[in-house]
Amino acid sequence: MKFSNLVKLKRTKKNMTLQKLAEVADISSSYISRIENDPTKSPSAESVFKIAKALDISIEDIQDCFGVGLKESDENSSLNLVKQTDYVLIKQAEELMINIANNKEKYDDGIKKLLDITEMLKKPQVKVICYSEEVEYVVNIRFYDSNIVFLVKEILSKAIGGIIRLVNGYFLEYYLEYESQENYCHDLEEFMVKINDFNENGDCDLDLEELSEYLEKIHY
């Protein structure tokens, strides 16, 4: 059963209005309505878990909807949330292609939906830029992840200081307020090694271990 149908079924059985479910799940009623009425709507994994909790939908039922293996402890797993969201989108793309091939979906509409899904699956590269009069650091992150960005900013703030900015895109021209004496541009992995060497005496309480564990968990 599709998640959209399961949500509608469970909500109906509980005699729960959209507004009531929205209050309990802390999600807007219009968003839930789109999930129920548009099977191609891709809910975020976080929203899936919120709705599931509000409607007493079991982990097993979620597994059946999305075809993934979950554990109860996965609810707060960032890795699972990323995989879950992508998996939903990929499954929807597969269904669309089958429906287009079997003439169950209008070609133009189906292609537009596939293009929308492709856009949602894209993960643009981001850069965290830290600069002052003395030094300029650019850290390249392969895709946006709020936790990675937060931890990198924290590390730069403690180790380097100065002004810190986040920018998007693979190719970027940016203009700094200072003509820094030293310039560094590193991919995330190289940055962690350099900062660790810089802080070999442990003068700064950096979050390198937390960042390293998180990167390993999401298979960065």
Q: Do both 107 and 134 map to the same domain? A: no
Tokens describing residue 77: 């797993």
CB-based burial of residue 59 (10 Å sphere; 0-12 exposed, 13-18 middle, 19+ buried)? Answer: middle
Rg (the chain; Cα; Å)? 22
Under the banding of pLDDT at 50, 70 and 90, the label for residue 207 is confident
Q: Which residue range(s) make up the domain with 100?
A: 84-121
Q: Does 186 lie in the same domain as 158?
A: yes
CA gap 71, 79 in Å, rounded: 13
Same domain, 131 and 156: yes
3-state secondary structure 92-159: HHHHHHHHHHCCCCCHHHHHHHHHHHHHHHCCCCEEEEEECCCEEEEEEECCCCHHHHHHHHHHHHHH
pLDDT of residue 22: 93
Amino acid at residue number 15: N
Specify whether 131 is located in the same domain as 213. yes
Express each pLDDT in 9-47 by its tens digit. Answer: 999 999 999 999 999 998 888 889 988 887 666 676 667
Are residue 50 and residue 107 in the same domain, yes or no?
no
Q: Give the containing element (helix H, strand E) for 16.
A: none
Residues 6+ apart with CB under 8 A from 14: 55
Asked, for residue 73, whether it belongs to a domain, the answer is no
What digits encode the pLDDT tens for the residues 188-204? Answer: 999 988 888 876 666 66
Domain total in the chain: 3
Average pLDDT taken over every residue of the chain: 78
106 and 164 inside one domain: no
What pLDDT, in 10s, does the model give residues 54-97?
Answer: 998 876 677 677 655 444 444 444 444 445 566 667 777 888 89
